[in-house]
Structure 1
Amino acid sequence: MQNKGLVRLFAVLFALVSIYQLSFTFVASKVEADAEEYAYNKISDQEEDYVAKREKVESRYLDSLQNEKVFDLGFTDFTLKEVKEKELNKGLDLKGGINVTLQVSVKDILKGLANDSKDPIFNKALDQADEASKNSQDDYVDLFFQEFTKLSGGTTKLASPDIFANKVLSEDINFQMTDAQVQPVLRRKIDESITSAFEVLRQRIDKFGVTSPNIQRLGTSGRILVELPGAKDVDRVKSLLQSTAQLEFWETYKAEDVNSFMIAANNRLIDILEVNDTTTTQEDDEEASEIDSLLSDAVKDSADVATQVNPLYDLMVSGGMQGSPIIARVAIKDTAKFNEYISMPEIRQLLPANLQYVEFGWGIAPKDSQVLDLYALKGNRESQPNMSGDVITDAQQTYDMAGRPAVSMQMDNRGAKIWEELTGKAFREGGNIAIVLDNVVYSAPGVSKGAISGGNSEISGDFTLNEANDLANVLRAGKLPASADIIQSAVVGPSLGQEAIDSGMFSFLVAAFLVLVWMITYYGRAGLYADVALVLNIVLIFGILAGLGFVLTLPGIAGIVLTIGMSVDANVIIFERIKEELRAGKGQIQAITDGFANALSSILDANITTGLTAIVLLMFGSGPIQGFATTLIIGILTSLFTAIFITRLMLEGDLAKNKRNFTFTTFITDKLPKNRNIDFLGKRKIAYIISGVLVLISIVSLTTKGLEGGIDFVGGRSYQVRFVDPVNPTQIGEELSAVLGSTEVKTFGDANQVKITTKYKVDVEGSEVDDEIQNLLYDNLVKYYPENFTYNDFTLGANSSQIGILQAVKVGPTIADDIKKDALWAVLGSLVVIFLFILLRFRKWQFSLGAVASLTHDVIIVLGVFSLTSHLMPFSMEVDQSFIAAILTVVGYSINDTVIIFDRIREETQKRGWRGVAIVNSALNSTINRTLNTSLTTLVVLISIFIFGGESLRGFMFAMIVGITVGTFSSLMIATPIMFDTTKDKGEQDKALDA
């Protein structure tokens, strides 16, 4: 090998840089361990709520060291903050945290651009686009254009004065423009709004205080991915992300102003509800009669009193006080019913002229109360506030006169003038001004000292310090141009994250140990050098991940562990070729030189095909799949460098220094047969029959039983819940189905852990449904927990215990359709890419056909095994994004095997000419050692992950194990025989292979 000095220099430099990058991770881990120990010693287990208290102590300890020097390299040093910025980032599945996909509402953006147009065609087009988007892959704006065109029939234009030819868009759209001219303007404006939303969210998240937050736009769909590793307060995060920061200032009515309306509304409701109650069926009357006959007169009398209700007033905890802007206080659980009553058309008709445009608004939910205040806001014909929040130029967390956390705001000149007029009017009339954020009244102060000049104002309320900081952050960052709904989310508790790290690293160490021992056992001293190269390979992978700022996830660890199994493949190919050269009578140096040279083509072809599959994963996958693909691509590149250069450098160095003869065998492997002569092609008909039966069974099962779709593909919510003692999943499933509808409950890992999947209100957006489901889960499952087990102990993010909800995942139906589509394209795309690569490399479509037929065979059988065994296995067999990643990895691995064999066929033909069956059998026999060795090594790695890698990876690993087994068989007995049988003109194949 030429340029040995240069290779040695690069190897040393790469290793040093990788170790340097990883050193920050070790230092950060050491400081965090010290903080954990400090908190453990500070807070006793006997203290109440000791887990939360320890977290606070640990956080304060780390905060105090942020600007302290914690890492001294002699020539430079680093603070903890700098160390944390350079450490290898861990994803939320390893650290706990929150991952959400937000959908910025294009509908809201269009309504804003149309200045809230009341045009019936415009609004109906929006409604129909809403419906169409549930079953379509088209962008919302395309659907809106289609629906508008159908409804307008050419009579109404987008550029109508009542729609988009308005003051908002006066510089971009005029009423003379056609719809075709307006559409690109609207697309640009929508994209600008989504970009604005992205920037607003980024600014909010930057101030949130988590390590290594990740926020990125997903294409042009209006979707934004947000990952916050380490975040624990789920409600706080959701509020921060979904708050539109729509700040408004409204004048308010007094309680006495609306008192007469409330009385009239209550009396009218009595009449309405009595009418409804009297429209009962005969069966209802008979049932009531039977019940009445069982009641004593006294009981009936009390029942009659109870039915004499005042519908509106009975929902009130108390009415409003004279002179107060609070017109009523209502229990939180009754606010929905109260809203329903006062929104009824029959009730709104009772509003007197001075209250015609009244808007009702609820106050902020207090911490220790279940009651909300109701306010009456002075609206107008357009339902516009007196002043909006776009005049705010700055906001800061402060404290009010009572020393409670508050938020102070500074307005621009225009806002300051309006604010002075508004406060002056309130002072003169003794009125109040409600400060409303996202339809919630935070406060409604009066003005006691005259008009307020200078544009200063304050929002006070029952805030915690975090809430006040978040509110100031949101106002400072600005409002979202449209609402942002969470359409996909994954929340992982910190305890589950730590378990994932422990199981992932243990499986990593077990796999590495088995591979290292196997290589020495099989190849002796040469295997030891391969192990050194493998260890360097691992260091380089982690170093590159740390240096490039990638986030390590559990699938990422799986990708690295798989790389361990696959990276030995290059060394196996090389060592087997060197053994062939030695058996041909060549000397040690020449055998090593020729072995590396002859193996290079096969190694490159095999790794390119696997790399192409990984690139397809990277393009079509998301989140964890991209993490898996990233580590796989990096692993392929580093393993090529270490196997081709480092192993050879050590072999030749040892040979030159010690004049040692390498046999590339041990006393165990030396006894294995050297020259096999198996008639593979002669057995191909039997292989065709076996494969045909397996494929047929798989297809029948797939068409009759189908596959167990994960929520990635069907939408819904899933919760991983752990109990103290083993539970009966069937019983829990029946109990939850009674309140959530069809609910699936399965044991997930140990008998005290279940996975709950439901589609309850999957179409409804908003965090209210998440809270509702968690409440229902707690109410129905609390009996399985110890006494005094609270809702906070149960919910994810509010606790750090080992029981309760450990993980929650939500996937909306729209994004589920998109994920399914992307998965299909990923599989089809990988097959097309591989077909074209094989065609380009071997210049014969028969080779491509054999390869793709083999891969299709492997995919169908893996799917069939999952279909047949989904209800038999004691672990999750759901088909989700991770399963698709497994399928594509199997595709890459299987084609790796096939390419090695095809390369040998081409090489043998170039040397000896085409000899039909003899050439093919010879190629298969000469590569069988490499095929079995690599397959067994990879299977050992996969089995170690399957056993030790944690419950969430078992289905993924099972698919890989089945796929690698089937793929090894198909490479030998399907791909090559099909290539042979479809090549009619052997002379033509000979010419192609000689080219």
Structure 2
Amino acid sequence: QNHQGLAFTTVDRSDDFLLQVRIGESARQDNQRQALKQNILTLRNRVNELGVAEPVIQQQGSNRVIIQLPGVQDTVRARETLGATATLQFKAVDESNSLEAALAGRVPPGSALYDHRDGNRILLKKRTILTGEYITNASSGLDPQTGEPVVNVSLDGRGAKIMSGFTGKNIGKRMAVIFVENKQYTTVTEEGEKEVVTELVEEVITDPVIRDQLSARFQISGAMGTREARDLALLLRAGSLAAPMHFVEERTVGPSLGLDNIRQGVRSIVLGLALVVGFMVMWYRGFGLVANVALALNLVLLVAVLSLLQATLTLPGIAGIVLTVGMAVDANVLIFERIREELNAGNTPQNSIYAGFDKAFSTIFDANVTTLIASAVLFVFGTGPIKGFAVTLSMGILTSMFTAILVTRAMVNLVWGGRRVASLPIGHSLLRLKGERAIRFLSRRRLAAIVSGLMIVVSIASLATRGLQFGIDFTGGTLVEVGYQQPADLQQVEQALQGAGITDAVVQLFGTPSDVLIRLASGSGGDLAQLSGDVLTALQGYDDSVELRRVEFVGPQVGEELTQDGGLALLFALLGILLYVGLRFRYQFAMGAVAALVHDVLITLGLFSLFAIEFDLTVLAALLAVIGYSLNDTIVVFDRIRENFAVIRKGGVIEVIDQALNDSLARTLVTSVTTLMVLLALLFFGGEVIRGFAMALLFGVLIGTYSSLMVASPALIGLGLTREDMEEPEKEGADAELA
């Protein structure tokens, strides 16, 4: 039975009857949620005490909290203050039993030995008189008589009553004040694996004699320095953590690097968007201007939604925005190419506009829904960074569908809908591939299969033998980036670090000859600020112009979770896509789409392995974007194949698929070109930090464009797709022949 969250079970052991009591699952989850809420409130109070302007404190998942402290100067104190699980306990000193006997191993029941700050041991009663939860305020100061640092404590009504009752009955006896803290640190096991160890530290600060009855206000003094008294008062004032917390990931960015990243990021994105805007106007003329207005509105809406959700924009989030921009442009390209087709078929401008939007809707819907399914699965099964990508992508899909389908149509109807015009300012397609001009893609499917097979074999072989060069996001460890005024001497850097006792460092140039990256794979991150200070001090001994640009620490637990959850998220995303495409089209299309995705991911990973490019969180984000892009590309082609089977009644399966590939080729190339413009701007002007991200996307877009034409569609032939599978009842007047 259950009683107030407790579950009771009986256990029979021979003649004994045992009753087993445990906390129920719902009660355990409630306690965990309440503890996390209390911890967030406490952390917020502590950050406010630090005086940080505009901090960000957010819950991530069920057991993590993200804290961002812009502009904080004393990172050592900030880390100690936030991570401290310190509180106070008040216990009576056991003066009725012998301390010597307890030290000899004969500790009396109800008592325990504790370490004293003066280096000795002391015997205390186990029963706790009072804890820090009753403290309402605390401040540091100096004792007016002795001049030593003290902490002035104020208790609430209940705490004052407890303290008054105990001290009133025990005048002349001693009461100990215990500083209690949970400390976490990383150790290496005998098997060479890292694990986080939690240690409970209980230290007696002072054990004064009770001279008078205490009440709501009193002082604590002992072997404390001024700063220690101030920090203890801050922790007591902000409140204690309801559950122990430890750092699993930490990143410090210097002001110069942060400014450089902002400048480079803004410059590359502005340049990329400018190229896209110019290309759309050149290619689609007046309709290109409409697409650009819709794209700008899409970005404004996306940023507004993310702001309302208080989402933190990280590199995975930027990956989602880049993919959103590509898909928003793609939706307009689909519509405009359809309008061009209708005009080329001899329809009037008004009928062409109507038919273009009408026929493109199904394709846009299918492409966006499949990507939305993938992002939903990534959100459910992914970790924090992957969830960030999924949220940004999901919001971007919804805003892009709104702007492409509703806003673009409203603007087109407003400008050209109510007017009699002889032509539309939409340009002329340079790729009218019909009849003899059509490209016979599937006639080259065997050659494409050989090329793809070779690339996959090389990729798998490289992954099996060389593996991926994982960054600290996956392996855990510490990374320090420093900058020099002139080209750095790596040998001198290594000598300086070895002289400071840092022997496991891997030193390399990062982007420019004056930027150096130092990797400490075994760094525990136990005192990240101290570690970075040691590195900087060692290097300044040779060159005092060296500047600390960033420090990052990732615990081993984060790397393991990222690997496991990322793999599961990708697997379930593929299963979700397989199910939807199979229901919306046929199973051959589902298998073809998944084959193209696996093809793209394997070859992209193989390129990173082959060229030993670092695989970190930014590259994982790019890989997720590649899956979304490739899927979008493939669904567009599949939708055209399905449509062609309905309208083209003569010709075999190969001819129908070939014509569909030719019909969608202009859209495929235009979308790829606009996406590549943004990626090339990121690659060359986005800075070294984002280079791996841009390179992965660049590889993925090129491979994805190829696979949508030469892998996914030929796979339909290999999977035995027939005209009978796609045949619909023939309607009068609906016959069409291949031109």
Q: TM-score range by the shorter chain?
A: 0.7 to 0.9
Q: 1:733/1:197 Cα in 2 relative to 1: closer, same or farther (>3 Å)?
A: farther
The percentage of aligned residue pairs carrying the same residue is: 33
Question: 2:532 touches 2:551 (CA, 8 Å); kept in 1?
Answer: no
Residue 965 (structure 1) aligned with residue 710 (structure 2): no
Paired AA for residue 774 in structure 1: S
Separation of aligned partners in 1, 2:232 and 2:36: 18
SS state at 1:950 partner = coil
Q: How does 1:583-598 map to 2 (within 5 A)?
A: 583-598=344-359
Separation of aligned partners in 1, 2:234 and 2:608: 48
Question: 1:395 touches 1:473 (CA, 8 Å); kept in 2?
Answer: no
Q: How does 1:196-595 map to 2 (within 5 A)?
A: 196-207=34-45, 208-209=47-48, 210=52, 211-216=54-59, 218-219=61-62, 223-230=63-70, 232=72, 233-249=74-90, 359-362=114-117, 374-380=118-124, 384=126, 387-390=129-132, 392-397=134-139, 399-402=141-144, 406-410=151-155, 411-421=159-169, 424-426=172-174, 433-434=176-177, 436-438=179-181, 439=201, 444=206, 450-459=211-220, 461-464=224-227, 471-472=232-233, 474-476=235-237, 478-480=239-241, 482-595=243-356
Q: Offset at 1:955?
A: 0.7
Aligned to 1:891: 627
Separation of aligned partners in 2, 1:181 and 1:882: 53
Q: Offset at 1:350?
A: 11
Q: Offset at 1:757?
A: 2.1
SS state at 1:551 partner = coil
SS state at 1:521 partner = helix
Q: 1:391/1:938 Cα in 2 relative to 1: closer, same or farther (>3 Å)?
A: closer
Q: Offset at 1:760?
A: 2.4
Residue 851 (structure 1) aligned with residue 579 (structure 2): no
Q: 1:607/1:172 Cα in 2 relative to 1: closer, same or farther (>3 Å)?
A: closer
Q: Offset at 1:849?
A: 1.4
760, 771, 778: which one pairs with 2:522? 760
Q: Offset at 1:587?
A: 0.3
Q: Deviations over 1:883-905 (max 9, x none)?
A: 22222211111111111111111
Q: Deviations over 1:749-807 (max 9, x none)?
A: 22222222223254xxx735x356335424532324318x8xxxxxxxxxxxxx21x33
Q: 1:903/1:992 Cα in 2 relative to 1: closer, same or farther (>3 Å)?
A: farther
Paired AA for residue 747 in structure 1: L
Q: Offset at 1:555?
A: 3.9
SS state at 2:248 partner = strand
Q: Offset at 1:662?
A: 4.2
Aligned to 1:947: 684
463, 471, 475: which one pairs with 1:710? 471
Q: Deviations over 1:129-161 (max 9, x none)?
A: xxxxxxxxxxxxxxxxxxxxxxxxxxxxxxxxx
Aligned to 1:902: 638
Q: Offset at 1:468?
A: 6.5
Paired AA for residue 632 in structure 2: N
Separation of aligned partners in 1, 2:560 and 2:21: 26
Q: Deviations over 1:277-322 (max 9, x none)?
A: xxxxxxxxxxxxxxxxxxxxxxxxxxxxxxxxxxxxxxxxxxxxxx
Separation of aligned partners in 2, 1:241 and 1:664: 60
Q: For structure 2, list consecutive stretches of 5 or more residues without a partner in the other structure.
A: 182-200, 732-739
Q: 1:440/1:771 Cα in 2 relative to 1: closer, same or farther (>3 Å)?
A: farther
Q: 1:462/1:648 Cα in 2 relative to 1: closer, same or farther (>3 Å)?
A: same
Separation of aligned partners in 2, 1:629 and 1:391: 40
Question: 1:253 touches 1:376 (CA, 8 Å); kept in 2?
Answer: no
Q: 1:249/1:711 Cα in 2 relative to 1: closer, same or farther (>3 Å)?
A: same
Q: Deviations over 1:257-279 (max 9, x none)?
A: 99xx9xxxxxxxxxxxxxxxxxx
Separation of aligned partners in 2, 1:405 and 1:628: 49
Q: Offset at 1:646?
A: 1.8
Question: 1:196 touches 1:480 (CA, 8 Å); kept in 2?
Answer: no
Q: Offset at 1:867?
A: 0.4
Residue 916 (structure 1) aligned with residue 653 (structure 2): yes
Question: 1:556 touches 1:628 (CA, 8 Å); kept in 2?
Answer: yes
Separation of aligned partners in 1, 2:81 and 2:19: 37
Paired AA for residue 714 in structure 1: T
SS state at 1:378 partner = strand
Paired AA for residue 61 in structure 2: L
Question: 2:431 touches 2:666 (CA, 8 Å); kept in 1?
Answer: no
Aligned to 2:394: 633
Question: 1:614 touches 1:889 (CA, 8 Å); kept in 2?
Answer: no
Q: 1:936/1:737 Cα in 2 relative to 1: closer, same or farther (>3 Å)?
A: farther
Q: Deviations over 1:455-484 (max 9, x none)?
A: 4222455445xx767644533565445532
Q: Deviations over 1:8-44 (max 9, x none)?
A: xxxxxxxxxxxxxxxxxxxxxxxxxxxxxxxxxxxxx
Q: Offset at 1:496?
A: 3.0
Separation of aligned partners in 2, 1:408 and 1:633: 50
Aligned to 2:193: none
Separation of aligned partners in 2, 1:644 and 1:175: 60
Q: 1:171/1:401 Cα in 2 relative to 1: closer, same or farther (>3 Å)?
A: same
Separation of aligned partners in 2, 1:851 and 1:959: 20
Question: 1:724 touches 1:752 (CA, 8 Å); kept in 2?
Answer: yes
Paired AA for residue 361 in structure 1: H
Q: Offset at 1:375?
A: 4.4
Output the aligned Cα RMSD.
3.6
Q: Offset at 1:246?
A: 3.2
Paired AA for residue 276 in structure 2: V
Paired AA for residue 896 in structure 1: N
Separation of aligned partners in 2, 1:503 and 1:361: 54
Q: How does 1:131-170 map to 2 (within 5 A)?
A: none
Question: 2:130 touches 2:162 (CA, 8 Å); kept in 1?
Answer: no
Q: 1:547/1:529 Cα in 2 relative to 1: closer, same or farther (>3 Å)?
A: same
TM superposition score normalised by structure 1: 0.63
Higher helix share: 1
Higher strand share: 2
Q: Offset at 1:206?
A: 2.3
Q: Offset at 1:543?
A: 2.0
SS state at 1:951 partner = coil
SS state at 2:487 partner = coil
Q: How does 1:977-992 map to 2 (within 5 A)?
A: 977-983=714-720, 985-990=722-727
Aligned length: 683
Separation of aligned partners in 2, 1:814 and 1:248: 32
SS state at 1:640 partner = helix
Residue 927 (structure 1) aligned with residue 682 (structure 2): no
SS state at 1:425 partner = coil
Paired AA for residue 886 in structure 1: A
Separation of aligned partners in 1, 2:424 and 2:529: 67
Q: Offset at 1:633?
A: 1.9
Q: Deviations over 1:635-676 (max 9, x none)?
A: 22112111112222222222256644444544xx66665644
Paired AA for residue 474 in structure 1: L
Question: 1:566 touches 1:938 (CA, 8 Å); kept in 2?
Answer: no
Residue 860 (structure 1) aligned with residue 605 (structure 2): no
Q: How does 1:607-686 map to 2 (within 5 A)?
A: 607-656=368-417, 659-666=420-427, 673=432, 675=434, 676-686=437-447
Question: 2:176 touches 2:207 (CA, 8 Å); kept in 1?
Answer: yes
Separation of aligned partners in 1, 2:5 and 2:329: 64
Q: Offset at 1:965?
A: 0.2
SS state at 1:746 partner = strand
Aligned to 1:289: none
Separation of aligned partners in 2, 1:756 and 1:525: 52
In our comparison, the structure showing a higher alpha carbon Rg is 1
Q: 1:655/1:392 Cα in 2 relative to 1: closer, same or farther (>3 Å)?
A: closer
